[in-house]
Structures are given as C-alpha cells and as structure tokens.
Amino acid sequence: MNIKEYADKSVLCWLATVDADLMPNVSPKEIFIALGDNKLLIANVASPISEKNIRANNKVCVSFIEVFEQRGFKVKGMVRVIDAKSPEWTGYLAELRKLADERYPIKNIFEVNIESSVSIIAPSYFLFSETTPESQVEGALSAYKVSR
C-alpha cells in the first residue's frame, strides 16, 4: 500500500486545519493528487476557511480512503499556498487539470509536504483473518446496493 496509489483511487480527501485560536476545521476536497509519496497538491476551489487557517498555521492533516476497499492514508505535514505568481504554479496547475477542467476555478493550490503518514484500514481487516480487499469491495457493493 502506498500513498500515491490510494490518493489516485480516492474520490475525496479531508483536509484538517486549525485557525489562529486552534479551533479545528475539516473540509472535503475533490481535486487533489499525490506527487509520489512525499507531496500532495490540493486545489483551492472554494475553501476560504481552509486558506485562512493555513495562512495562520501551516500544519495540516489530510485523510483519504478508497471507499470500497476501506483502506487509505492519513498524512501530516506542512503546507504552502501556491498562487499564479509562484514558480510551481504552471506545473502544479497542469497536474490538477488532469482531474478537472477550467469549469473549476482553482484560486490557488495547497502544496502539502508530507512529514508522516499512517495507513487507514477498516477494523475488519485485523478482526477477521479472511478479510481481503476483494471481500471488502464485494461487501461494500452489496451493502450500498451499487455496482462498479
């Protein structure tokens, strides 16, 4: 299991920030990508609270899971706000545009430099020896009455 693999499989990530008074905020983000296992890019489409918090305190936590397998990662690190004046802007924007076109107005990009990570795994994996990613997918498809 690696960070990039599960970021690529995940539909949403959850960005946790804190404000200047250390009040937490968690916000879903749908346009994000892992650049290897050390860096995440998250598009700021409509996240003024997350941006304000990041500017006050640049320590963040990001979680994402593949919803059917019920496995993924929680990563922690320092974040920078990348805007159109930043040298990384063009390359980072091109990466995020692979996921969403210009209809999504990307105000800036949150560049998360990952300092630590831990895998997220549903309890059934360690409670029941017969649990596999395939059995988790089958169970989720059945429980949610959906198909792939």
In the chain the domains, ranked by start, together with CATH numbers, are 3-122 (2.30.110.10)
Threshold 0.85, pTM exceeds: yes
Cβ neighbours of 4 (radius 10 Å): 16
In the block, which residue shows the tokens 């320092």? Answer: 78
**Residue (of 117, 10, 26) closest to 70 by Cα position:** 10
Separation of alpha carbons 35 and 144, rounded Å: 31
What is the tens place of the pLDDT at every residue in 101-147?
999 999 999 999 999 999 999 888 888 888 888 888 887 778 878 77
**Residue (of 126, 133, 26) closest to 71 by Cα position:** 133
Q: In this predicted structure, what is the pLDDT of residue 7?
A: 95
Q: How confident is the model at residue 87 (pLDDT cuts 50, 70, 90)?
A: very high
Q: Please report, rounded to a whole number, the percentage of residues in the chain having pLDDT higher than 90.
A: 76
Burial-class residue 142 by CB neighbours within 10 Å (0-12, 13-18, 19+).
Answer: exposed
Q: In this predicted structure, what is the pLDDT of residue 58?
A: 96
What is the tens place of the pLDDT at every residue in 63-86?
999 888 889 999 999 999 999 999
